[in-house]
Structure 1
Amino acid sequence: MRRLLLSLIAILVLVSGGQALAHRFAASFTVVQLREDKGAIQVTHRLFTHDVEDLIRTHSAVGGGELTDDNISSFLKDYVGSSFALYDGNGERIDLKWVGYEYTVEDIHVYQEVPLPDGLKQIGVIDRILTETFPDQVNRVNIEKSDKVQTLIFRKGDGLKIADIDSK
């Protein structure tokens, strides 16, 4: 009997510990594609669905109200637009346009786009997504141009970071 009880306790600890570790690292992943073939900068943000749910619960006027595609879309558009920004080599903000979002149980993908500025040699990035909600948030931004990739890492309190994208 004692052996059975210890086995059950061990199983409960493993199961509950596994759920606690299921995701609880705070991260987002963004890809900034400089698409010369399309004349566009295409941005894709990948966020964990339950992190966005926490964000909406704590920062949205929707609060405990019913979440609909319209109010989630509006919230994400405003939130990502104020938390993520690109700048050209002269320090001028590049005005990203909202394309939309898709979601699954695990992930939310947010899409933005803008025409590729002529002669862009450097790009500045600010990424504060979820840093006010999760103090240990780490945001990874991959900047892709042709076959080159540069990675910038952002944490709470980080400001503008510059990537040299001139393909020589």
Structure 2
Amino acid sequence: MSRKAFLFSLCLIALLPPVAAHKYFFGLTEVSLNPANNTLEVVHQYTLHDIQRAMTEQYGRNFRIEDSKADGRFQRWLKQHFQVRDSSGKPVKLDWVGYEADFQAIWFYQEAAVSANDFCSWQVTNSLLMDVYSAQVNTVNFVTPDSTRGVTLTAADNDQSVHCKE
């Protein structure tokens, strides 16, 4: 291998880590009303390796979702970083349903019994992953049979109200 080819290869290898690591940190949460059984259903979707890194930082060891303590740790972590408040400002107690993951993404499921027909003036706090990734953006969509309203949350503004004025 010529010296030029070797140096070119070395430069390419040096550039690989920034290219291979993703630079966008995005989470999506859907909060929906199920009128059939008067429940609030919450589904969070995040990138699996981002969650694993956050949990490793929080618990101080290489976190694996197969760990027997993962379920409880996810529950505590979600409770710490995600909260919904109704139009009177009262926190909605979200019950843990569970989680599932594939090789790339993870979904967390929560629910609560509610008697509401819209999300006007509800508030949401979502700081999931923001302590690990300063560029994290979390979108929360509030879905009813009649409409979908979304808020976008960042580290600088991780608490917002749902506005329903057209």
d(CA) in 2 for partners of 1:121 and 1:106?
31
d(CA) in 2 for partners of 1:126 and 1:18?
32
TM, length-normalised to structure 2: 0.83
Corresponding pairs, count:
164
Q: Share of identical aligned residues, percent?
A: 21
Amino acid at match of 1:86: V
Tell me if 1:149 matches 2:148: yes
Structure 2: state its 5+ residue gaps: none
Shift of 1:117: 2.4
Runs of 4+ off more than 3 Å: 1-18, 64-69, 118-121
Shift of 1:161: 1.3
Amino acid at match of 2:86: D
Shift of 1:26: 1.4
Structure 1: state its 5+ residue gaps: none
Shift of 1:154: 0.5
TM, length-normalised to structure 1: 0.82
d(CA) in 1 for partners of 2:88 and 2:153?
21
Which residue does 1:19 correspond to in 2? Answer: 20
Asked if 1 retains the 8 angstrom alpha-carbon contact of 2:117 and 2:144, the reply is no
Q: Point out the more displaced range, 98-107 or 120-129.
A: 120-129
d(CA) in 2 for partners of 1:121 and 1:65?
35
Q: Cα deviation per residue 1:81-126 (whole Å; 9 max; x = unaligned)?
A: 1100111110000001000000111101000001122465522111
SS across alignment from 2:53: helix
User: Kindly tell me: are residues 69 and 33 of structure 1, through their superposed partners in 2, closer, same or farther at Cα, counting changes over 3 Å?
Assistant: farther
d(CA) in 2 for partners of 1:107 and 1:151?
21
Shift of 1:153: 0.5
Q: Which among 103, 106, 110 is matched to residue 105 of structure 1?
A: 103
Q: Point out the more displaced range, 151-160 or 88-97.
A: 151-160
CA RMSD, aligned part only? 2.7
